[in-house]
Structure 1
Amino acid sequence: MNINLRQAVIANVSGNTQDQLKDTIVDAIQSGEEKMLPGLGVLFEIIWKNSDTKHQQEMLETLEQGLNQNE
């Protein structure tokens, strides 16, 4: 059986409102379940691909700061 996780995640959230997308992200993070990580990765990929260089740099800075706080 060949399951395309990327397509499945996109199909599950396509057409969702911003509030629904936020709820999905918050729920995935709060649950702390490892199985949610690939879905968050797909959503991040979509954000990254649809962001300009300036916003990508801001995300990298935020990521770096967050990682440095967890040291």
Structure 2
Amino acid sequence: MGLNLRAAILHNVTDNDQGQLQDTIVDAISSGEEKMLPGLGVLFEIIWQNSSEADKKEMLETLEQGLKR
């Protein structure tokens, strides 16, 4: 029996509104639990795939600056 983690994560958040999505992200980050990382990765994948080139550049700049702290 194979587990498709990406599909399970997407199933759990597909009908969530912006508030619920924000709560999911904030909870995952604040908990600091590594088991939450795959879910954040799937959400980031969706953001990346649906972003313009300008938005991607801005995200990369933000990430680069955040890593320099």
| TM-score relative to the length of structure 1 | 0.95
Within a 5 Å distance, the mapping from 1:1-71 to structure 2 comes to 1-69=1-69
Q: Which digits, 9 at most, give the CA deviation of each residue in 1:25-49, with x for residues without a partner?
A: 0000000000000000000000000
* Counterpart amino acid of residue 44 in structure 1: F
Query: How many residue pairs get matched?
Result: 69
Question: What root-mean-square deviation, in Å, do the aligned CA atoms of Structure 1 and Structure 2 show?
Answer: 0.4
* Counterpart amino acid of residue 65 in structure 2: Q
CA distance in structure 2 between the partners assigned to 1:38 and 1:25 by the alignment: 12
Percent sequence identity over aligned pairs: 70
Gaps of 5+ in 2: none
* Counterpart amino acid of residue 27 in structure 2: D
Moved over 6 A (4+): none
Gaps of 5+ in 1: none
CA distance in structure 1 between the partners assigned to 2:9 and 2:47 by the alignment: 14
